[in-house]
Structure 1
Amino acid sequence: MNTNTNAELTKQLRRHEVAIVELNNLPSSSAVYQRNCNLYFRTTIQKATTMEQNQIDSVKAKLGNLNPSSS
């Protein structure tokens, strides 16, 4: 079970990292929409990047709690 959880968290981490790279490559005039539950809201690239970085930090913390010896 721990391996499945670890693999899922690693997938989430990669998804958020890819999202940040994609956001950083957008022109500043592009419209960005951020998902909140089942709705999408227009936001700035900076706010979306910050939200993705917060998600990365959260997933890394969860991974650290699962693998305290590897830190």
Structure 2
Amino acid sequence: MKKMELMKEVRAHQVAIGELNNLPPSRAAYQKTCNIFFRKDIKSAVASQQKQLDIAKAKLQKLDQAS
């Protein structure tokens, strides 16, 4: 992936985490897995987004080190 694509991906995950954190705890979120949406609680959705954010940041850092 190119650096700009990774930066957009990182930003998208940061926004998703921010949006999920602003939802009331009683609400549920829908998370897309393949072509199906699954209902999840807010904590697991945030954890999943955080994991994807960490992966994207690691890829970006690796790309920066290679440059």
**Where do 5+ consecutive residues of structure 1 fail to align?**
none
Letter in 1 for 2:23: L
Q: Aligned with 1:32: secondary structure?
A: strand
Number of equivalent positions: 67
**Hey, what does 2:64 align to over in structure 1?**
67
Q: Distance in 2 between matches of 1:31 and 1:59?
A: 25
Larger Rg: 1
**Where do 5+ consecutive residues of structure 2 fail to align?**
none
Deviation string, structure 1 residues 9-45 (Cα, Å, up to 9, x no partner): 0000000000000000001111211110111001110
TM-score, scaled to structure 1: 0.88
**Hey, what does 1:56 align to over in structure 2?**
53
Q: Distance in 2 between matches of 1:49 and 1:56?
A: 10
Partner of residue 46 from structure 1, selected from 40, 43, 46: 43
Give the CA deviation at 1:69: 6.9
Q: Residue 28 in 1 paired to residue 25 in 2?
A: yes
Partner of residue 5 from structure 2, selected from 8, 11, 15: 8
Identity level (%)? 49
Q: Distance in 2 between matches of 1:53 and 1:16?
A: 7
